[in-house]
Amino acid sequence: MAQYDKQRELLEKEKSRLLSELAELKLRASSDVGRREGSPFGKQEEEASATFEMERTLALKQRLAALLAEVEHALEKLEAGTYGRCDSCGRAIEAARLEALPQASLCLSCKMKRAGDARTRAR
């Protein structure tokens, strides 16, 4: 398992980065609420931009949470000794892919197949 020491280090770093970003978002969201309540203006325009801001924050939060889940999953695989194997077909994930994306849990062909499936379902 020593062969994945670099990936483990990257994943641990990524995890703490994501956790602090999520914590910061939470902090910012609560301070935004305080600012709005203290504002004497109740104009529709301001409310619209506040809603937009909130939606953007929510989207960012969801993206960070999804990334965090992937990183945690990869760390679990490292613990379980299944790191580097595709979740779907069980074959080895390409080394270059793990270099570029340490949290990858699918080999390239399964990933592409899944992306294709998602597109088909969305239609």
Positions in the binding site for Zn ion (CB under 5 A): 86, 88-89, 107, 110
CB of 8 to Zn ion, least distance (A): 21
Q: How far is the CB of 35 from Zn ion (least distance, A)?
A: 48
Phi–psi pair at 99, nearest 5 degrees: -60, -50
Q: For the chain, give the longest Cα–Cα distance.
A: 61
Question: Please, which residue, 75 or 93, has the CB nearer to Zn ion?
Answer: 93
Q: Tell me the closest approach of the beta carbon of residue 81 to Zn ion, in angstroms.
A: 18
CB of 77 to Zn ion, least distance (A): 14
Q: Judged by CB, which is closer to Zn ion: 59, or 112?
A: 112
Q: In whole angstroms, what is the distance from residue 109 CA to residue 101 CA? A: 15
CA angle, residues 116, 103, 25, in degrees to nearest 5: 100
What is the sign of the dihedral through the CA atoms of 4, 9, 15 and 17? Answer: negative
Measured from the CB atom, the residue of 18 and 84 that comes closer to Zn ion is 84
SS3 85: strand
Give me the phi and psi of 85, to 5 degrees please: -105, 145
Closer by beta carbon to Zn ion, 1 or else 89: 89
